[in-house]
Structure 1
Amino acid sequence: MLEWFEEEDQYILILILEYSESCRDLYGFILQEKLSESQARSLMYQAVLAAKHCLDGGVFHRDIKLDNYVINTATNRVQLIDFGCGEVAESGIKGQFIGFACPPEYFADFEYEAEPTTVWSLGIMMHRTVCSCNPLRKEDGRLSFDSRVSAEFQELITWCLALNPSERATMEDILQHEWFRQERMSGAI
């Protein structure tokens, strides 16, 4: 940490973070590498663990997306970065949405919660990683999947992208889901 400032409603931290030559943002990595579902699963398990770690520590990242994860291409280790939109995870966040993947509940009353919003963002990110496209079809807003992806993956994404936040998976539900079973059993991370 180089410097920090305390303001009335926020802290500003000036940090130097590692970003070695072997690191790339996950968005660029996925565009260049055509990942198998198994390879994507390994990376997404790490991404979910990082987001859960933040929430467990009371931090709402608010901008979960492929660009905000880096992968060390030498080790395949994934890290969450860019906390510029972050805030303390509290209930009933109101006001303008800040972040990448605005959850549908925001449009009802301009209010959203940290965990369901994070799960929504992760669902979009996981779908983009495995299927190389956005999950929601523009014409009718329904989910679309590549025919080659597993039923377990489709089930997980459908649960993460449930329109009603009370029906959406929790972070723990995601990590315990069958799609991540191999990662849990291998003791990944």
Structure 2
Amino acid sequence: MRLAIKRLLLIILIGGGLAGCATSTTPPSKPHNLCSIFKEKPDWYKAAKKSQDKWGTPVQIMMAIMYQESSFKHDAQPPRPWFLFIPLPRRSSAYGYAQAQDPVWGEYLEEAGGWFANRENFADAIDFIGWYNHKSRKINGVSLWRADLLYLNYHDGWGGYRRGTWKSKDWLKRTARKVKWRASEYGEQLRRCNL
């Protein structure tokens, strides 16, 4: 009898733990409101604040970049092209919350010392965005308060930004302005939050 009760308790604990993992990866229910996001996912605020303290990028800017890149989906990746009914390789290795590509993710792991970091983990992804922005400032002299310019670095890479590859991409300039607008909105919301 005791063994059966222990097994039942073990099953309940494991099942509850797995259910907790499953819900923690769901996108926030109100992604347009930073206060709602952080009230729904308080660990996200702690992780974003830790990244801000470590790398210097304001929370609202990192969150605006993440929203643009993945809509807060932990396993986001670019769509797979198809030829008739045959799936072709994806055009990019971008993956996870931050849509970090394999080469720059590897660079982050080496420089930031997070060998066990995971692109599907929010804390690791927000730390990556903070690190990337820190390097954008260091390499290209971009202010950590300029969400639009940080996003252009993020999208076209440090070399692409420096060469001005983004200047001929009207769609990318519009997207960078949208990130800047969202960061401003998130900043206003964050100032009114009671976290």
Higher helix share goes to which structure? 2
Specify the structure having the higher radius of gyration (Cα). Answer: 2
Q: Could you state the TM-score of these two structures normalised by the residue count of structure 2?
A: 0.29
Higher strand share goes to which structure? 1
* Greater RCO, CA 8 A, separation 6+: 2
Q: Could you state the TM-score of these two structures normalised by the residue count of structure 1?
A: 0.30
